[in-house]
Structure 1
């Protein structure tokens, strides 16, 4: 294994580990270098994985990374073993300074290197003088002393009996004192940073000079998607006041590329298994379903609308005509996969989007869409799948986490951090008027169990990526396998007009499909 070598940028980064970077970006980079990063330890709260911090440990490299839960942004970088990495500082017009001083030819020099940097080396040769630190008691007898620089802090073990507020930092720490860890954070000191660490709006990593790509111009990431119903989504950009709209059935391929850039991948797939739901009829009629009936929840659990099932029993010429039409439709459909933005967009010939919510009046301020007739030469967005990237879920790290909000619901805010059990009553209340009875509404909105562990399961755009369940390796970025190796991959799908939610066993939404 090659030693992890990285330049320290106080308050911003340790090598390519930049504060504010997404967990998806960091993991993808780590997986691309398996010789340097042999093992990952992902620690999270299984009952509340989208609100509590997520910790990513790199035990072979002596590094620990902490991300916030809602945005999954890197908030804290910790070096917990100085012997497993090479950290250096390179000030302007100055030679490189190593955090751990180079070993001497003596045995004691080798021992000093194994132990880590000394206080004297940090104070004199690495970062220079600083203000007195902060003593934090850990028990009745022991505590830690945090020596802070702007954006960097060192932790020293110190007994409570040894600490005296009247003593300065040099008197408290002997020249040979060795820190137990180092932290890189955003703030002037650790005392100031820890109060705002998980909520502070960090600057875009595009503003970090070492990572700036002079000729590459890419749009700012999408930080929030507001779902307005009726096939309309408003996408907000991070660090700006700009937003743009996707109107299903109207927004073209060219519009998507102009606003979002080219997709990370384009996927075409002919999935046949959900076709039975397209042709399902009620028990008291033999009539074929209408075009509107095809756009029901069971149909939309197949997120690849290119399904063209060929069956062998009981189909008349009308059935064959329906199949021929779907087969012809396959060649024009594809998914635009935006892994680094956190969503996929189905592009196909125009279809009418779902109906607007009952509470949405004509003066809502939502852009009107004039639906245009289908044309074989005109491809538009017809469906969007927003991914939660929930730790512990089967497709974890296939996409960056995408935050969303259902804008048309009144009362409490319903968003990507809301448990499904909390948002379900508001959704039922909003849509109850379209059903003949409450019982009919419950029947339409009942859950459908989905098991991802049985191979290519339909039901989410994760399945549209083509054989990744079988081909997942430790070196493939974004492999959709759970970190703990568990085969417990059962989720439940719930449908409402224009929405399909994929819900994990802990009650959080793994993905939402908007149509």
Structure 2
């Protein structure tokens, strides 16, 4: 079965729209294995959030390029016209003859220059000639239209800068089209300069790109983390939405962001033994995110990334109606999770001051911002969430970003919070990493069955990139382990390559 695509210059190829997120594209590809049987991902193992990410579809003759910081589709390349059906304004790019077998080629020479120039895209300005590295090789001529470029092979000895390029490419000296590229811009020579940095015009969401309905919630572009448990969610079109931890209600969240993609009701696990001691006997922590009970919350959030069969609300009839239950709102397409529970002070005073018959208020108590870093255990369960932490260092504003290495972030935070601890011993204890295992899961846990892309254990290719395919078993490597580092109001999950996989934000003193 061949996939069919309609070429849309400056916009995309079929359902693949320029600007779409890596998460959205991969999710769509994996949902149709009969059309996309093989998916290969190439990324830099040392700089996965800075260098471009390349997604190859060898069975479909396509190659997709995403930028590293934002995971957005920037370039679509057709590298083999025989693997899929391509059309433009109801006209096929190649004429197929003979057998339609999947294993035997049945196309005639691919799209010729005459076919592209006369019948499909029309006249355009002269392009760019790239000479071969050796004098006896073939050069490449790149011809571009707005949002579209085609590369042709041209014998170097036939090239002349004084000759008409239409005559040259129409002659026998020109051979098959090598590739065709779809991009956003008026010409390839201009677009390639800022290809991976220019702000895309289309949204990350494939749903938003294909619909004009205003009922679809706007996507979150960036999250700004302020001190005091305040987060600003900057959206693509609407005004920012402010989340105040321990105050913002689930009703506020649904009204602004729409219903969550999944709801996960947290249940007690073996870690609950650490929370069995009375609260009054437990010393308050400067970094409650590193307490075992809080670690259980974080780990449960990572386990709630499930497939479609599990995207349902799970109700436990034994949940205490007095407010002891905790629920995760999973927003995979926004790149974050929200923990809905009762604030700690409400939990403490609930029985003694409020009374057991009075329901406690449910609010957002934690926010989990996911980095979606290739090679990590949690890759592709969420869209990448970009964030900035705004701080004040003795009157000097500071901004920490999701693209920074944790060692940089940690050095700055250590200086800022140096005087926030009771003594040096507490400071060292709270800033010490806690190992979080991502590969050990019980048989019925989503951790043991989730399908992954990537893995640092595979090592770099000769070009310095790690490559991966579908179905990597996370339990095969201990390198899926991460470390947790806590600072007041923040918990960082850090990968082996020093990049931040997840930032948890909570409110101190609650």
Instruction: Judge same fold: TM > 0.5, yes or no.
Output: yes
Structure 2 unmatched runs, 5+ = 302-317, 347-352, 454-468
Kindly report the root-mean-square deviation, in angstroms, between the aligned alpha carbons of the 2 structures. 3.3
Is 1:174 the counterpart of 2:174? The answer is no
Q: Could you say what secondary structure the match of 2:114 adopts?
A: helix
Give the counterpart of 2:200 among 181, 199, 202: 202
1:186-197 to 2 correspondence within 5 Å? 186-197=184-195
Give the counterpart of 2:381 among 391, 398, 401: 398
CA distance in structure 2 between the partners assigned to 1:443 and 1:482 by the alignment: 39
CA distance in structure 2 between the partners assigned to 1:259 and 1:452 by the alignment: 32
Match of 1:217 in 2: 215
CA distance in structure 1 between the partners assigned to 2:283 and 2:430 by the alignment: 17
Q: Could you say what secondary structure the match of 2:176 adopts?
A: coil
Cα distance change of structure 1 residues 63 and 207 upon mapping to structure 2, 3 Å threshold: closer
Cα distance change of structure 1 residues 164 and 484 upon mapping to structure 2, 3 Å threshold: farther
**Deviations 1:370-426, CA, capped at 9 Å, x for gaps:** xx9896252110110000000000110000000011111546631110000011011
More divergent stretch after superposition (61-70 vs 162-171): 162-171
Is 1:341 the counterpart of 2:327? The answer is no
CA distance in structure 2 between the partners assigned to 1:135 and 1:128 by the alignment: 20
Match of 1:467 in 2: 445
CA distance in structure 1 between the partners assigned to 2:142 and 2:264 by the alignment: 51
CA distance in structure 2 between the partners assigned to 1:432 and 1:293 by the alignment: 12
CA distance in structure 2 between the partners assigned to 1:392 and 1:185 by the alignment: 27
Q: How far apart are residue 497 of structure 1 and its match? A: 1.0
Q: How far apart are residue 158 of structure 1 and its match? A: 2.9
**Deviations 1:16-64, CA, capped at 9 Å, x for gaps:** 0100000000011101101000011100000000010000000000000
CA distance in structure 1 between the partners assigned to 2:300 and 2:81 by the alignment: 53
Number of aligned residue pairs: 452
TM-score, normalised via structure 2 length: 0.81
Give the counterpart of 1:265 among 262, 266, 269: 262
Give the counterpart of 2:417 among 431, 449, 462: 431
More divergent stretch after superposition (486-495 vs 177-186): 486-495
Structure 1 unmatched runs, 5+ = 91-95, 308-324, 354-371, 458-465, 476-480
Give the counterpart of 1:382 among 359, 365, 383: 365
Match of 2:55 in 1: 56
1:292-311 to 2 correspondence within 5 Å? 295=288, 297-299=290-292, 300-303=294-297
Cα distance change of structure 1 residues 329 and 506 upon mapping to structure 2, 3 Å threshold: farther
Q: How far apart are residue 292 of structure 1 and its match? A: 6.3
Is 1:414 the counterpart of 2:400? The answer is yes
Q: How far apart are residue 172 of structure 1 and its match? A: 2.0
CA distance in structure 2 between the partners assigned to 1:125 and 1:103 by the alignment: 20
Cα distance change of structure 1 residues 254 and 412 upon mapping to structure 2, 3 Å threshold: closer
CA distance in structure 2 between the partners assigned to 1:452 and 1:255 by the alignment: 32
Preserved CA contact (<8 Å) 1:204 1:239? no
Q: How far apart are residue 175 of structure 1 and its match? A: 5.1
Cα distance change of structure 1 residues 133 and 287 upon mapping to structure 2, 3 Å threshold: closer
Match of 1:510 in 2: 501
CA distance in structure 2 between the partners assigned to 1:67 and 1:428 by the alignment: 34
Give the counterpart of 1:163 among 159, 164, 179: 159
Q: Could you say what secondary structure the match of 2:252 adopts?
A: helix
TM-score, normalised via structure 1 length: 0.80
CA distance in structure 2 between the partners assigned to 1:484 and 1:259 by the alignment: 37
- Give 1 or 2: higher strand fraction: 2
Is 1:31 the counterpart of 2:9? The answer is no
Q: How far apart are residue 471 of structure 1 and its match? A: 3.4
Match of 2:76 in 1: 77
